């Protein structure tokens, strides 16, 4: 049985060790990928690029300011375009710096997990070696035990053969003795028969003489014996009650001493002092009552013992017949008591059997609980592995995104529409990150408020318990009216927390010449987009290379086209991650334009004190973003 248990533990340990090693390899691969990203994207290099771009941007802005008085020329237009490109590049580089910081933080967490997993793997290997050594030791001990038992079995078989031979010899001797004894018994039986006939005649004569007075005397003896037994039983019960009263008296005296020590405290209030005095008085009355009861019982026990000692117990037993009758009655009483004891023993045995059965059930349940714990640990390891794989996938996506941003920044001849789409997607991603951070902050605040509310409830519960332990209170304290403080509820709306950015209603905001030029450029780009939307649209099922109508008209495929996802006419510069996210982000434009990041519904008010109220935040996220978060889980949410 022990060997089977060790084999089972070894199998479970091997399974857990394999899972831990697999998880450690996954985390190591993720850490290598993070190192690769750190080598590609150095924070210092990015900061230097940002400084250079910022300096170039400032120079271009100064040139534009100096050229505002002159007539607009082609050079000024090129400078404005270059200024816009530099602004977008600075935004993208700053975003990369923030992502690099997140990646560094993720790498630190991954390194910590790898160290913990390596320590766990080392401990498991040590445990495995110890189990294997124990199994070898157990097998060797079992082999030695088996050899010893075989030797003992041979010795017992030899002794059994000797005993059988001795038994046969003794049986023959016994048969001979039985024959001799049988003949002697027949002679003794004949002699006893003659003696019994003689004694029977004598007894019949004596019984006729004593039959008249024997019945009344026998009843008196039975009554006397029963009375004596009742007196002894009552005395024993009284002594047991006396012991219990003495214990109660000692506990009351100890409680009185404790109350007197508490009464000497000078920091006690009047109400508490009054309650303690009342309790001391009540305990003193109980103490006096127990003392009187103990004195009375001791006196009765002494009188009973004196009567038993003085009284001659067996004066009424004057003949052998009376002694036999008394013994017969005592024997009957003992038989009845023995029957009761046997029935009680059977009941006690049944209770013990039921206890053993319940203990077996408890052991079975503990084994099931251990199996459940093992399964839970396995599920936990699987979830950690899945989380590590998701982190690795997210890192691959981040690397693809960085490559696409660098390509878009370096290729100045890229299509304007694709560049704008990439910028919009990056803006949407930044908004989603901000929204996720706000959600996590609200969740943390909610957890802190719940913890505070739980502590207040526990404090109130402990206070109520301490008050309920006091057995009596003064009527004035009970009838005193309780002052109720009004609770103030503050209704918070989401509009109070919103960051208003209304240019029309802001009195300090003024339009600048650069703003007018930017508005003109936006209107011009919108007109170009409208013209493109009126052009031909394709519905190709291939990669839009040869027979596509957009290619024949020298146009790139737009969002209005119904071509497949493998289209290469207009989507070559977009990375795979951006193409997967474009449909989800475009469907959520209306939500973002209406201020979705501030869509926080505050309800379910929590009241902690009489002057403060807290609200439980509930963040409402549209279905498109829920799908996006479920497909691309963030590291923070997984942790």
Distance CA 361, CA 367 (A): 10
Q: What is the pLDDT of residue 128?
A: 81
Q: Which of 35-44, 126-135, 222-231, 364-373 comes out lowest in average pLDDT?
A: 35-44
DSSP 66-80: HTSSSPP-HHHHHHH
Rounded CA gap, 179 and 175, in Å? 6
Q: What is the pTM of this model?
A: 0.27
Find the mean pLDDT for residues 391-403.
61
More confident residue, 432 or 384: 384
Closest among 92, 162, 61 to 427, alpha carbons compared? 92
* DSSP states of 365-408: HHHHHHHHHHHHHHHHHHHHHHHHHHHHHHHHHHHHHHHHHHHH
In 3-state terms, what secondary structure has residue 59?
helix
Please choose, from the candidates 402, 389, 392, the residue with its C-alpha nearest in 3D space to the C-alpha of residue 99: 402
Highest mean pLDDT, choosing among 72-76, 375-379, 585-589: 375-379
Beta-carbon contacts of 496 under 8 Å, excluding residues fewer than 6 positions away, are none
For residue 308, give the nearest of 227, 243, 213 by alpha carbon: 227
Neighbours of 171 (CB within 10 A): 9
Contact predicate 38/100, CB 8 Å:
yes
- pLDDT computed for residue 281 by the predictor: 82
Q: Which helix (H) or strand (E) holds 508?
A: none
What is the model's pLDDT at position 547? 76
Cα separations in angstroms, 368 against 187, 301, 363, 372: 75, 58, 9, 6
CA atoms in the 13 A half-sphere facing the CB of 95: 21
Indicate the pLDDT class of residue 464, thresholds 50, 70 and 90: low
Question: CA-to-CA distance for 188 and 176, rounded, in angstroms?
Answer: 19
For the ranges 9-23, 55-69, 270-284, the lowest mean pLDDT is seen at: 55-69
End-to-end CA distance of the chain: 42
Angle between helices 74-263 and 320-410 in degrees, nearest 10: 160
Tokens coding 128: 């495995």
Average of pLDDT values for 52-76? 66
Cβ atoms of 249 and 287 closer than 8 Å: yes
Confidence of residue 386 (pLDDT cuts 50, 70, 90): confident
When comparing pLDDT for 352 and 21, which is higher? 352
Give the chain's length.
639
In 3D space, the residue among 514, 568, 570, 572 whose CA is nearest the CA of residue 545 turns out to be 568
Of all residues in the chain, the percent with pLDDT exceeding 90 is 0
For the segment 126-149, the average pLDDT, to the nearest whole number, is 86
How many angstroms from the chain centroid is the CA of residue 124?
24
Please provide the average confidence, as pLDDT, over all residues in the chain: 68
Q: Phi, psi (5° rounding) for residue 114?
A: -65, -40
User: Domain locations in the chain?
Assistant: 2-198, 413-474+488-493+566-639
Q: Please give the pLDDT value at position 303.
A: 65
Stretch 373-393: mean pLDDT: 76
Fold of 2-198: Helix Hairpins (1.10.287)
* 256: phi then psi, degrees, rounded to nearest 5: -65, -45
Cα 169 to Cα 165: distance, rounded to the nearest angstrom:
6
| Residues 631, 324: Cα–Cα separation, whole Å | 100
Of 114-118, 461-465, 529-533, the least confident: 529-533
Of the pLDDT bands very low, low, confident and very high (cuts 50, 70, 90), residue 35 is low
Residue 287 pLDDT greater than 80, yes or no: yes
User: Which residue, among 401, 228, 191, 390, has the nearest Cα to 312 in the 3D structure?
Assistant: 228
Band (pLDDT 50/70/90 cuts) for residue 369 is: confident
Question: Residue 224 in contact with residue 333, Cβ under 8 Å?
Answer: no
Instruction: Give mean pLDDT, residues 581-592.
Output: 40
Residue 379 binned pLDDT confidence (cut-offs 50, 70, 90) = confident
- β-partners of residue 607 are 613
* Cβ pair 20, 382 in contact under 8 A: no
DSSP state of 553: T
Is residue 627 within 8 Å of residue 584, measured between CB atoms?
yes
Residue 117, burial from CB neighbour count under 10 angstroms (0-12, 13-18, 19+): buried
Cα(503)–Cα(514) distance, rounded to whole angstroms? 16
Give the position of tokens 């309920």: 468
Say if residue 54's pLDDT is above 60: yes
Q: Residue 596 corresponds to which tokens in the numbers above?
A: 């979705």
């Amino acid at each position: 049985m022990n060997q089977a248990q060790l084999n089972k533990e070894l199998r479970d340990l091997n399974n857990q060790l394999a899972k831990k090693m697999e998880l450690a390899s996954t985390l190591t691969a993720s850490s290598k990928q993070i190192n690769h990203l750190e080598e590609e994207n150095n924070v210092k290099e990015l900061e230097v690029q940002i400084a250079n771009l910022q300096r170039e941007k400032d120079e271009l802005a100064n040139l534009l300011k100096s050229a505002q008085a002159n007539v607009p020329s082609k050079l000024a237009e090129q400078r404005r375009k270059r200024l816009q490109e530099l602004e977008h590049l600075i935004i993208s580089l700053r975003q990369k710096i923030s992502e690099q910081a997140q990646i560094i933080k993720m790498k630190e967490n991954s390194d910590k997990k790898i160290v913990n997993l390596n320590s766990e793997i080392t401990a498991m290997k040590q445990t495995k070696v110890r189990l294997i050594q124990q199994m070898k030791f157990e097998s060797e001990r079992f082999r030695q035990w088996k050899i010893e038992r075989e030797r003992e079995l041979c010795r017992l078989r030899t002794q059994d053969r000797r005993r059988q031979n001795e038994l046969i010899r003794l049986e023959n001797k016994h048969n001979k003795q039985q024959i001799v004894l049988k003949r002697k018994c027949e002679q003794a039986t004949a002699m006893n028969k003659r003696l019994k006939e003689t004694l029977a005649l004598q007894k019949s004569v004596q019984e006729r003489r004593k039959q008249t007075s024997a019945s009344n005397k026998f009843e008196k003896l039975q009554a006397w014996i029963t009375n004596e037994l009742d007196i002894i039983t009552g005395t024993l019960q009284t002594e047991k009650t006396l012991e219990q009263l003495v214990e109660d008296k000692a506990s009351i005296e100890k409680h009185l001493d404790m109350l007197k020590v508490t009464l000497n405290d000078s920091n006690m209030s009047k109400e508490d002092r009054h309650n303690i005095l009342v309790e001391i008085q009540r305990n003193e009355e109980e103490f006096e009552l127990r003392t009187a009861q103990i004195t009375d019982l001791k006196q009765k026990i002494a009188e009973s013992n004196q009567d038993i000692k003085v009284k001659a117990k067996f004066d009424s037993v004057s003949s052998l017949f009376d002694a036999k009758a008394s013994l017969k009655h005592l024997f009957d009483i003992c038989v009845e008591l023995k029957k009761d004891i046997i029935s009680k023993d059977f009941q006690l045995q049944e209770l013990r059997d039921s206890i053993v059965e319940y203990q077996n059930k408890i052991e079975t349940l503990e084994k099931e609980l251990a199996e459940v714990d093992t399964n839970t640990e396995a599920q936990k390891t699987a979830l950690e592995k899945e989380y590590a794989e998701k982190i690795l996938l997210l890192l691959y996506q981040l690397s693809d995104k960085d490559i696409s941003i660098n390509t878009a920044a370096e290729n100045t001849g890229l299509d304007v529409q694709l560049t704008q789409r990439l910028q919009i997607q990056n803006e949407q991603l930044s908004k989603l990150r901000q929204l996720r951070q706000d959600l996590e902050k609200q969740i943390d605040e909610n957890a802190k408020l719940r913890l505070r509310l739980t502590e207040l409830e526990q404090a109130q519960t402990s206070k109520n318990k301490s008050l309920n332990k006091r057995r009596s209170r003064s009527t004035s304290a009970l009838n005193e009216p309780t002052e109720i403080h009004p609770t103030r509820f503050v209704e918070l709306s989401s509009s109070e927390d919103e960051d208003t950015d209304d240019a029309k209603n802001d009195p300090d905001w003024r339009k600048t010449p650069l703003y007018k030029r930017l508005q003109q450029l936006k209107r011009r780009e919108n007109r170009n987009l409208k013209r493109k939307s009126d052009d031909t649209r394709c519905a190709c099922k291939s990669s839009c290379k040869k027979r596509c109508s957009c290619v024949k008209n020298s146009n790139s495929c737009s969002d209005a086209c119904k071509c497949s996802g493998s289209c290469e006419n207009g989507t070559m510069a977009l990375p795979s991650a951006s193409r997967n996210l474009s449909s989800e982000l475009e469907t959520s434009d209306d939500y973002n334009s209406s201020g979705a990041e501030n869509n926080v519904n505050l309800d379910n008010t929590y009241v902690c004190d009489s002057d403060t109220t807290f609200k439980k935040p509930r963040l409402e996220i549209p279905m498109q973003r829920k799908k996006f978060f479920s497909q691309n889980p963030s590291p923070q949410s997984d942790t």
